[in-house]
Amino acid sequence: MASRTSTRTQGDGEKYSVLLPTYNERENLPLIVWLLVKYFGESGYDYEIIVIDDGSPDGTLEIAEQLQKIYGEDKILLRPRAKKLGLGTAYIHGIKHASGTFIFIMDADLSHHPKFIPEFIEKQKEGDYDLVSGTRYQGDGGVYGWDLRRKLISRGANFVTQVLLRPGASDLTGSFRLYKRKVLEGLIERCVSKGYVFQMEMIIRARQLDYSIGEVPISFVDRVYGESKLGGNEIVSFLKGLLTLFATT
């Protein structure tokens, strides 16, 4: 039995594609790419990073091209689109050009930290899970930068979701996940919602299709470079999405 060391020099025969939809992430993109390269490099797993930029006016694509020159076109793939077209289609677009057997989805704004990537991979292997979901609500998962109001809304919304949908996963609106490639493709086809309700629907449909779901506690660091607001509009659209899922799944 090979002993587990903190750094591995050989991969596992699998390849991990990281999908990064971006919009106005010129500041954050180099940093997230640097962190991904660091943690994938240390772990020895084979990977590629696919940047799907939706026509960002701030020059995100330009800085992505610089990163491509630094890290290589085999590691950084650029699949831009003309304008902001939504998350589901961004994933579909990204997967088309992905050569990995597994797909990571995560936010490009540094709220999700690549240091958890080896944990996701290990968790996946542990139970051969069809998908592994990062959770802020269990174990030593958590958040940074949230005031009491934000925490209350988050936990309250999650509680209502758990009661109504009984999803079998603790964090439904999270978007730091690892999927088997076929599983992701199949789920996207079936999902009709938008935004973070889309993330919820992915888990619900996965449950319906009897996919196995593993969880990894993650830390979510909010507002590194800007404000993330949760106003009345978002709450209303969340409730609408939740009730739709309640009535249709």
Q: Least distance from C-beta 35 to another protein, angstroms?
A: 7
Of the pair 239, 246, the CB lying nearest another protein is at: 246
Report in angstroms the alpha-carbon separations of 94 from 90, 109, 212, 221: 6, 18, 24, 25
Specify which residues 32 forms β-bridges with: none
| Matching residue, tokens 């319906």 | 208
Which two structure tokens, joined as six digits, stand for 185?
A: 């493709």
Of the pair 159, 239, the CB lying nearest another protein is at: 159
Q: Least distance from C-beta 133 to another protein, angstroms?
A: 17
Q: Least distance from C-beta 96 to another protein, angstroms?
A: 28
Of the pair 164, 236, the CB lying nearest another protein is at: 164
Of the pair 95, 245, the CB lying nearest another protein is at: 245
Q: Least distance from C-beta 74 to another protein, angstroms?
A: 17
Specify which residues 221 forms β-bridges with: 144
CA distance from start to end of the chain:
44
Pick from 73, 75, 83: which is nearest to 52 by CA?
83
Of the pair 95, 242, the CB lying nearest another protein is at: 242
Q: Which helix (H) or strand (E) holds 35?
A: helix 29-43
Q: Least distance from C-beta 72 to another protein, angstroms?
A: 12
Of the pair 91, 137, the CB lying nearest another protein is at: 137
Which two structure tokens, joined as six digits, stand for 50?
A: 């696919």
Q: Enumerate binding residues for another protein (CB under 8 A).
A: 30-31, 34-35, 63, 66-67, 69-70, 110, 113, 137, 140-146, 148, 151-152, 154-156, 158-159, 163-166, 219-221, 224, 245-249
CA distance 178 to 106: 9
Specify which residues 51 forms β-bridges with: 20, 78
**Cβ within 8 Å of residue 83, ≥6 positions away:** 54, 55
Specify which residues 164 forms β-bridges with: none
Report in angstroms the alpha-carbon separations of 170 from 38, 154, 214, 238: 29, 12, 10, 17
Q: Least distance from C-beta 13 to another protein, angstroms?
A: 29
Q: Least distance from C-beta 67 to another protein, angstroms?
A: 7
Of the pair 129, 146, the CB lying nearest another protein is at: 146
